[in-house]
Structure 1
Amino acid sequence: MEKKTVRGTGVVGGYAYAPAAWTRPAHLPPASTALIAEDDRPAEVERFKAAAETVAARFTERASAATGVATEVLGATAALARDRGWIRAASKLINGGESAEQATVKAIAQFVAQFEKVGGLMAERTTDLKDIRDRVVAELMGLPEPGVPQPTSPVVLCALDLAPADTAGLDPAMIKALVTKFGGPTSHTAIIARQLGIPCIVAASDLESVVEGVPILVDGTTGIITVEPDPAEADDLVKKDEELRAEIRAWSGPAALADGTPVQLLANVQDGAAARKASGSQAEGVGLFRTELCFLTAQTEPSVNEQARIYGEVFGAFPGKKVVVRTLDAGSDKPVPFANHEDEENPALGVRGIRLGWTNKGLIDRQLDAIAQAAEDNGVKDAWVMAPMVATVDEAFEFAAKCRERDLTPGIMVEVPAVAIMPHAFLKEVDFFSIGTNDLTQYTMAADRMSSNLATLTDPWQPAVLRLIQNTAAAGQEMGKPVGVCGEAAADPLLACILIGLGITSLSMATNAIPAVGVQLSKVTLEQCTEVADKVVASRNARDAKELAAELLG
C-alpha cells in the first residue's frame, strides 16, 4: 500500500523518525462589548503593562540561558515585547474603554498590518508580534503560555509557524525535527534548526493532515514527510544519518573532493566576535563580512576611524587569509538609522545596497576609506571588497575605480539577474563575483523571499536560478576570475556539490554549516559534480532538481 506523504521545502538536511507533536494553541481573549469603567482604566493599564513586562522578562531570561543565534533571537523578541510603540497603542485603547486582553489583540493587529506593508524582514517579524500577543493574553487570563510542549520522549515538532521563543529553547535530544506549514528557507526557524543540527522542513501546506502522536519520517533534504512509514526502514535511515552526523562532528578540514580537488570553504560573519569564532573553525577565511549588521542601531554614521577599528577586528581574526568585505547592504529588510532611507512602496526593489550612494553623498567613499585603513593597520596586502545590488556595468566600473584608488581588490555581488545574464561585461570591470543566492532567487522568481506562501518559488534549487549561476560561473572560468557563492544555498551540502559542478570556486556560509558541507564534498569527485549539475539544471522544477541530485549523489 502506498504510504501517505506530505511535501514541503527541506531547509536543513537529515532524517528523523518519531511521533508528531503539535504546539499548544493560543488562547482567545473573552469576547465582550462592555467598556471598562473610566475609574478602573488606570488599573487596567497597569495590569496590561505588568503582563507585557512579565512576558518580556521571560524572553530575557531565556536569552541569558541560550547560546549562539538563539540568544540574539530571544533578546530581539524581548526588546520587541517592551517596544514603547505597541505598549502605548494598547494603553491608549484601554484608556478608551477596551479590556487589557482586547487592547493587546487590537494593538498588535495594527503593528502586524504595518509590518506586512513594509515587507521583507519586517514582515517576517509579524510571527514574533503574534507570539507576543498570545503570551500576553495568556498571562492576562492566568493561563499557561502557548507554544512548544515539553515531551518526555523524542518527537517531531509540528506547527503552523514557530516564533523565536518556540525554537530558541528546544532540546535536540527530545525535538528530533521541525516541520511547519508556513515559513521560508531563510526564516529564523530554519536558522535555529541549523544551529541545533536537526532536520527542518518549512512550507508543508498539507501538514495539518498529520495528527498528534502518529509516527512520521522526516527527510530534511528532499522535504518529504512520510506518515506511518515502515519502522525498520525508518530506523535504518535514521541510523545511517546518525553515522553521518558522527562523521561531520569528526571532520577537521580542509575541504577537498574525493579526487583531491580542493574546495575553498569560507565563513559568513557580521562582526569581530563572529570572525574570531570562525577563525577557530575549519573556515579558510571570510567570504562575506556583512558590514551593515555592525550598524543596525547606530543613529549617526561612525567616523572613518571608528569604522576602521570595527573592520580591523575581522581582518585581525584571519591574518594572511582571504577576507571579503561587503559594503553596506542597507535598505529593504536591513534599515540602518544613519542612512537616508526613502519611504518606498517596494523597498526590496528600491534604494538599497550600492544605490544608497545616490541619496547619501560620500557614504560609500567613506566606508571604502575605512576598509583601506583597516587593511593597512592589519598588514592586509589584498583586501577584497564587493558592492551589493549592482545592476549596471557603469555601477561596476565606478565602484571598481574607487576600490583601485585605495589599493582594494574590487568585486560585486551577483544578486540582480542583469549581472548573471551578461556576466562577461561586468567581469571586464571587476576582479571577482560573489553570488548572493537569496536575493538572486527572489528577483529571478519575482517572489519575496520572506513570504512563506512563496517558499517553493524562493527555493535556490529552482532550475532558472541554477542556470543563471551556471552562466555566471562559466564566464568566470573563461575570464580566469573567481566566482563564489555566499547565500544560504552554500550551506546546503547537496546543493554545494551542484554549485561546484556548475563551476563555483568558493562557498561561504554560517560557520557551523561548514563541516556538513565538507563531509558531503569529500564523497564526490569533480566529474560526478559536473555530470550531475548538467542534469539538474535541466529539471522541470526545484523539487525534481533536488530529488535528482539526491538520487545521483546519494
Structure 2
Amino acid sequence: MTQIHGVGIGLGVAAGPVARMAAPLPAPADEPSTIGAEAEAARAREAVHAVARELEARGAQAGGAAQDVLEAQAMMAEDPTLESEITTRLEQGKTAEWAVADAFATFRDQLTAVGGYLGERAADLDDVAQRVIARLRGVPAPGVPDPGHPFVLVATDLAPADTALLDLDQVLALVTSDGGPTSHTAILAREKGIVAVVGAAQAAGLRDGETVVVDAAAGAVVQDPSDAEVADAHRRAAERAAAATAPLTPGALADGTAVPLLANLGSPAGATEAIELGAEGVGLFRTEFLFLSSADAPTVAEQRDAYQRLLEAFRGRKVVVRALDAGADKPLAFLNDAHEENPALGLRGLRALRASEDILREQLTALAEADAAVAATGEAADLWVMAPMVATVEETRYFTTLAREFGIRTAGVMVEVPSSALLADHVMRVADFASIGTNDLTQYTLAADRLLGSVASYQDPWHPAVLRLIREVGTAGAAHGKPVGICGEAAADPLLAVVLVGLGATSLSMAPAALADVRASLAQHGLDDARRIAQAALEAEDADSARAAARAVAATSSL
C-alpha cells in the first residue's frame, strides 16, 4: 500500500479503477494550405463559432459557477485579437489547424507574461484551442474518458468545460496532480459534491485500470489497497450517503453551540436547491450576475425584481447580500474600464463603487425596495448588506452610513484585506457585522494571486498567517457583540470549519453541496474542542503542518 497526498475536498471517500484523461491532440504540422486562405478562413470561423456555442451550451446545462467560467471561455474563443492573429497566419498560406494552434499559443504566452487573472486564463486558452483543432480535424475533443464502467478520474487538471458536465454516475472520484483548494477544479468539485483530492503531485504515476481508494477526508489516495481497505471505503461512502438523506438539523457543535450554516449563491435560481440541502439562509449573495451580462448597468426595477425573488424564497431567514464586487477578474465597462497594471490591487470592490456612487445608490435603493415589497406580502427575510474589499475604518463608516440612509437595517463589511483584519477592533465598532472572504484574504496575505496556477501552493487558507488574521476579527466580533461570518471556500472544508468556529466565527457560508459534510464535522466537536483544534493550527508554521496538527487534535476530541 502506498499513499499519495494532496488536498481533500470535503469528507467523501470512494474506491475504484483509475481512468486517466486522454493526452492532448498532437500539434498540427506547419504545412502549406492546399485549399487557399479564403477557404481556410471559413473553416476556422466555423470551428471557433461552433466551439464557442458548445461552451455556452455546456454552461447553460451546468449552471452555477460553471456557467460563468464557460461563458468566459466562449468569449475568449471569439476574442477579436485572436481572430486577427489567426487571419494573419492564414494570409501567409498556413492551414487553419496550424494557424489556430500558433495564434492561440502566442496569445497564451502573452497572457502568461502579464500574470494575474489574465495569466490564469492562459490555461483555459489551451483547452479552447484543443477543441477548435479537434473540430477542424473532425475528431472528438480530448476530454473525460468513457471506459464503460464507473471509474476514478485522474488528470493533471480539468478544464472547466469537462468538470462542469462530469457524469456523476460514472465518475466515482477525481484526482489531480495540479491545482489547490481554491482552483476552478476544486470549487466546481465542491459545488457538485464530487469526492476529490487535488494537488496530489505524485498522481501522475497512477496507471489506467489500477484500483485506488480516494479519501478526501484524509487528503490521500491509496494505491494497491487491501480488500479490507476497499470494503471500508465502500462502508464509509454508504454511511455518508445515508447521513445525507437524514432529517436536516440546524448547524451546531456537539455541545449545542449554534453555528448557522448558510449558502453562497450567485442568483435567485439556486435558492430552492440550497434550502433542500439544508441552508439556514444565505451568507453570500453575489449580485454580479445582474451586471456582468450587460453592457449597461441594470435598472433599479430589474435589480429589485431579482432581489425580491431571493428574499421571498428565504422568508424568515437571514440573507446577506454583497454589493457589486467588480474590478480585478470582473471588469465592467460602465464601472471601471481603465487599464490597470495590477487590477487585483486597483479600483475594485467598494473603491470602484465609490468612484461611481450612482451605481451603489441604485443598488441600495433596489435592495430596500425589494425588502419592503416582501415584508408587505408576508413574513420578511432578514436582509443584511455588506460592502466588498473594505480596507479602512473610513470605508466602513462610509458604507454603513450610506446603507442606513437607504433604510438598510443591518450593514456590514467584507474582511478580505489584511488591513481590515488588523483593524478589526475599530471596524467592528462601526459595522453591524463582518464576513470574512477567505479566498481574497489568503491572496493578499500570502501575496499570491488566487487565480494564478504558478502560485497555487500559496493559496491555502490553512496558513497560520491567515488563521491569525481571522482570529483578530473573531476576537473583535466577540468583544463588540457583533457576528462574524465566513463566506470563502474555507468554510466548506469540514475540518477547517471547526477551526474557524474555534477562532470566533459565528456562522459559515458555502456552496450548498458542502453543507452536509460541514454539519457532520461540527457535530463531532464541542466549542472547547474547536478552540483547542484552532490553537494547534495557529501554532504551526505553514499550511500543511497546520492541517496536520488540527487533524491530530481533532482525532482525540471527536465523538
| TM-score normalised by structure 1 residue count | 0.92
Question: Which range moves more in the overlay, 351-360 or 418-427?
Answer: 351-360
Question: Which range moves more in the overlay, 260-269 or 167-176?
Answer: 167-176
Cα 1:77–1:412, aligned 2, differ >3 Å: closer, same or farther?
Answer: same
- 1:540 and 1:460 map into 2 onto residues whose CA distance is 13
Structure 2 counterpart SS, 1:206? helix
- 1:30 and 1:546 map into 2 onto residues whose CA distance is 45
Residues 12 and 193, structure 1, Cα contact 8 Å, conserved in 2 = no
Question: Which range moves more in the overlay, 56-65 or 187-196?
Answer: 56-65
- Cα shift readout 1:451-482 (whole Å, capped 9, x = no counterpart): 23323321111111111111210111111111
Counterpart in the other structure of 1:170: 166
Question: Which range moves more in the overlay, 470-479 or 235-244?
Answer: 235-244
Cα 1:196–1:509, aligned 2, differ >3 Å: closer, same or farther?
Answer: closer
2:528 counterpart letter in structure 1: E
Structure 2 counterpart SS, 1:177? strand
Counterpart in the other structure of 1:422: 423
The 5 Å alignment of 1:481-496 reads 481-496=482-497
Match of 2:104 among 102, 108, 113: 108
Kindly state the Cα deviation for residue 72 of structure 1 after the two structures are TM-superposed.
5.7
2:18 counterpart letter in structure 1: A
Kindly state the Cα deviation for residue 449 of structure 1 after the two structures are TM-superposed.
1.2
Residues 443 and 449, structure 2, Cα contact 8 Å, conserved in 1 = yes
Pairing 1:215–2:211 present: yes
Structure 2 counterpart SS, 1:287? strand
Question: Which range moves more in the overlay, 75-84 or 258-267?
Answer: 75-84
Structure 1 residues without counterparts, runs of 5 or longer: none
- 1:401 and 1:59 map into 2 onto residues whose CA distance is 43
- 1:75 and 1:505 map into 2 onto residues whose CA distance is 35
Pairing 1:160–2:156 present: yes
1:166 counterpart letter in structure 2: D
2:471 counterpart letter in structure 1: Q
The 5 Å alignment of 1:459-498 reads 459-498=460-499
How many residue pairs are counted as aligned between the two chains?
550
- 2:548 and 2:242 map into 1 onto residues whose CA distance is 24
1:216 counterpart letter in structure 2: V
- 2:125 and 2:47 map into 1 onto residues whose CA distance is 15
- 1:122 and 1:43 map into 2 onto residues whose CA distance is 32
Counterpart in the other structure of 1:202: 198
Cα 1:538–1:242, aligned 2, differ >3 Å: closer, same or farther?
Answer: farther
Residues 336 and 347, structure 2, Cα contact 8 Å, conserved in 1 = no
Kindly state the Cα deviation for residue 306 of structure 1 after the two structures are TM-superposed.
2.9
Cα 1:60–1:385, aligned 2, differ >3 Å: closer, same or farther?
Answer: closer
Counterpart in the other structure of 2:289: 293
Cα 1:381–1:99, aligned 2, differ >3 Å: closer, same or farther?
Answer: closer
Counterpart in the other structure of 1:27: 25
Residues 444 and 465, structure 1, Cα contact 8 Å, conserved in 2 = yes
Question: Which range moves more in the overlay, 16-25 or 45-54?
Answer: 45-54
Kindly state the Cα deviation for residue 378 of structure 1 after the two structures are TM-superposed.
2.2
Counterpart in the other structure of 1:393: 393
- Cα shift readout 1:406-426 (whole Å, capped 9, x = no counterpart): 232221111001111121111
Structure 2 residues without counterparts, runs of 5 or longer: none
- 1:67 and 1:360 map into 2 onto residues whose CA distance is 30
- Cα shift readout 1:206-234 (whole Å, capped 9, x = no counterpart): 33233333333322234322322334224
2:472 counterpart letter in structure 1: N
Match of 2:33 among 32, 36, 49: 36
Cα 1:79–1:446, aligned 2, differ >3 Å: closer, same or farther?
Answer: closer
Kindly state the Cα deviation for residue 188 of structure 1 after the two structures are TM-superposed.
2.8
- 1:228 and 1:279 map into 2 onto residues whose CA distance is 40
Counterpart in the other structure of 1:441: 442
The 5 Å alignment of 1:311-326 reads 311-326=307-322
Kindly state the Cα deviation for residue 179 of structure 1 after the two structures are TM-superposed.
1.5
Match of 1:284 among 269, 280, 286: 280
Cα 1:376–1:119, aligned 2, differ >3 Å: closer, same or farther?
Answer: farther
Counterpart in the other structure of 1:508: 509
Residues 10 and 492, structure 2, Cα contact 8 Å, conserved in 1 = no
CA RMSD of aligned residues (A): 2.5
The 5 Å alignment of 1:40-439 reads 40-56=36-52, 58-59=54-55, 62=58, 66=62, 73-74=69-70, 77-78=73-74, 80-83=76-79, 85-116=81-112, 119-379=115-375, 380=380, 383-408=383-408, 409-439=410-440
Identity of aligned residues (%): 45
Kindly state the Cα deviation for residue 349 of structure 1 after the two structures are TM-superposed.
1.0
Residues 314 and 381, structure 2, Cα contact 8 Å, conserved in 1 = no
- 1:347 and 1:527 map into 2 onto residues whose CA distance is 42
Pairing 1:7–2:5 present: yes
- 1:428 and 1:144 map into 2 onto residues whose CA distance is 59
- 1:278 and 1:18 map into 2 onto residues whose CA distance is 30
Cα 1:129–1:219, aligned 2, differ >3 Å: closer, same or farther?
Answer: same
- 2:328 and 2:58 map into 1 onto residues whose CA distance is 29
Residues 53 and 82, structure 1, Cα contact 8 Å, conserved in 2 = yes
Question: Which range moves more in the overlay, 229-238 or 17-26?
Answer: 229-238
Structure 2 counterpart SS, 1:325? strand
- 2:361 and 2:60 map into 1 onto residues whose CA distance is 39
- 2:338 and 2:238 map into 1 onto residues whose CA distance is 50
- 1:64 and 1:151 map into 2 onto residues whose CA distance is 26
Structure 1 counterpart SS, 2:458? coil
Kindly state the Cα deviation for residue 317 of structure 1 after the two structures are TM-superposed.
1.8
1:389 counterpart letter in structure 2: M
Kindly state the Cα deviation for residue 53 of structure 1 after the two structures are TM-superposed.
4.0
- 2:500 and 2:172 map into 1 onto residues whose CA distance is 29
Residues 17 and 216, structure 1, Cα contact 8 Å, conserved in 2 = yes
Question: Which range moves more in the overlay, 339-348 or 152-161?
Answer: 152-161
Kindly state the Cα deviation for residue 89 of structure 1 after the two structures are TM-superposed.
3.3
Residues 45 and 94, structure 1, Cα contact 8 Å, conserved in 2 = yes
Kindly state the Cα deviation for residue 547 of structure 1 after the two structures are TM-superposed.
2.6
- 1:99 and 1:381 map into 2 onto residues whose CA distance is 59
2:554 counterpart letter in structure 1: L
Cα 1:58–1:296, aligned 2, differ >3 Å: closer, same or farther?
Answer: closer
- 1:255 and 1:358 map into 2 onto residues whose CA distance is 37
Cα 1:373–1:60, aligned 2, differ >3 Å: closer, same or farther?
Answer: closer
- 1:545 and 1:127 map into 2 onto residues whose CA distance is 30
| TM-score normalised by structure 2 residue count | 0.91
Question: Which range moves more in the overlay, 473-482 or 285-294?
Answer: 285-294
Structure 2 counterpart SS, 1:257? coil
Kindly state the Cα deviation for residue 363 of structure 1 after the two structures are TM-superposed.
2.8
Kindly state the Cα deviation for residue 69 of structure 1 after the two structures are TM-superposed.
5.2
1:518 counterpart letter in structure 2: R
